[in-house]
Amino acid sequence: MMNKDQKKNYISEMSNQFENSKAIMVTHYQGLTMTQLDDLRSRMREHGIIFKITKNRITKLALEKTKCKDLSNLFTGPTAVAFGEDAIMSARILSKFAKDNENLKLIGGMMNNEVLDQAGVMNVANLPTLDEARANIVGILNASASKLVSILLARSEKMSNLPPENSETKPKE
């Protein structure tokens, strides 16, 4: 049981987390063992994501004055929240873990001030990460550049193999 000071600290801490995180994913974790929760937390921590089990009634109080107040209806039952900067990575880790552990359920979230439902979270999980997108762009640019070079080289080879235009021998006058 929390005393008043602990509740105030919890509300303040959670309000800061909700206000300062770019990616917030809300899950239900009923049926997961402590070992499974610890495994999930360590996977999340590797990417700078905080995975926290919440106290719903107090968390709803923390949500009231934040940009995330629209998420308060998700806080029913055994709820845990992932706070991070990269929504794609958060959603990807949670969805992969949920595939392996049917007791973890993604129920919604928020990405850059946009509320996501369960389907939205799954869509975000399937997006390429920033690094993957950059790699794809570099690959496209490299492929285009190499094609352009090969086209230019092919044209110049054809030109060099042609006989000169005035190569006919003209009689001397």
Q: Which fold has domain 4-127?
A: Alpha-Beta Plaits (3.30.70)
Going from N- to C-terminal start, the domains of the chain cover 4-127, 128-160
CB 54, CB 75: distance < 8 Å: yes
Given a contact cutoff of 8 angstroms between Cβ atoms, the answer to whether 115 and 70 are in contact is yes
Helix (H, G, I), strand (E, B) or coil at 32: coil
Instruction: Kindly state the percentage of the chain with pLDDT values over 70.
Output: 87
pLDDT at 130 over 90: no
Tens of pLDDT, residue by residue over 80-126, are 999 999 888 999 999 999 999 999 999 999 988 888 888 888 888 88
How far apart are alpha carbons 51 and 41 in whole angstroms?
A: 6
The rounded mean pLDDT for the chain is 84
Structure tokens at 156: 């110049």
Which of helix, strand or coil describes residue 48? Answer: coil
- Dump pLDDT digits (tens) for 47-92: 999 999 999 999 999 998 888 888 889 999 999 999 999 888 999 9
**Residues 82, 94: contact at Cβ < 8 Å?**
yes
